[in-house]
Amino acid sequence: MSGKVIALFLALSAAAMTACAEAPAADPELPAMPDETATFEKIEKTDAQWREELTAEEYRIARQAGTERPFTSELLHNKQAGHYYAVGGTIPLFSSETKFESGSGWPSFYDVIDPSHVKLVEDNSHGMQRIEVLCAQTGHHLGHVFHDGPRPTGLRYCINGAALRFVPAEQQQEQEAEATDVGE
């Protein structure tokens, strides 16, 4: 009797491992990945340069794919009109117009300003299957995107506030001029 139980256990274990090893199919509802014809200049710095420029918390989150504690970001309840940029970046990633209260504890957006400004990659860390959101300009880890957001996209970009810098709408022209200077 115990031999049959062991054989059944081994068969079920093998089936479970095979099912877990299969790569998930691409989700058709995620935004299409942009082509590599970026309209901005990528910012490439050494690890030492990023360490010098960013705070310890920004570095841990943006460069080491960390996560800030929920409900601790100063940007979580920000209601001002404006754009959100990656720390150390010069291109707008998210707009206050698409920010919403998700209850997750992190700033959340249902869309990006321009799909070419972010890069989406499969993330299988911590025993989960998620889609990681990176800044296409700096390569910074921003957070993850999920399929439980509001209309019209149904997406929730769950973003670490420490990886973002907010620029109020009244300062947008100044920021755009700075971004143009970087690209020249």
Phi-psi category of 108—alpha, beta or left, where left has phi over 0 and alpha has psi -120 to 50? beta
The residue with tokens 């300003």 is: 113
pTM over 0.85: no
**How high is the mean pLDDT of the chain?**
83
What integer is the mean pLDDT of 36-62? 91
pLDDT digits (tens, 9 = 90+) for 61-96: 999 999 999 999 999 999 999 999 999 999 999 999
pLDDT digits (tens, 9 = 90+) for 110-138: 999 999 999 999 999 889 999 999 999 99
20 is an active site residue: no
DSSP state, residue 103: S
- Cβ distance 50 to 63 under 8 Å? yes
pLDDT at 140 over 80: yes
Domains and CATH numbers, the chain: 2-183 (2.170.150.20)
Q: Which of 133, 134, 158, 162 is catalytic?
A: 158
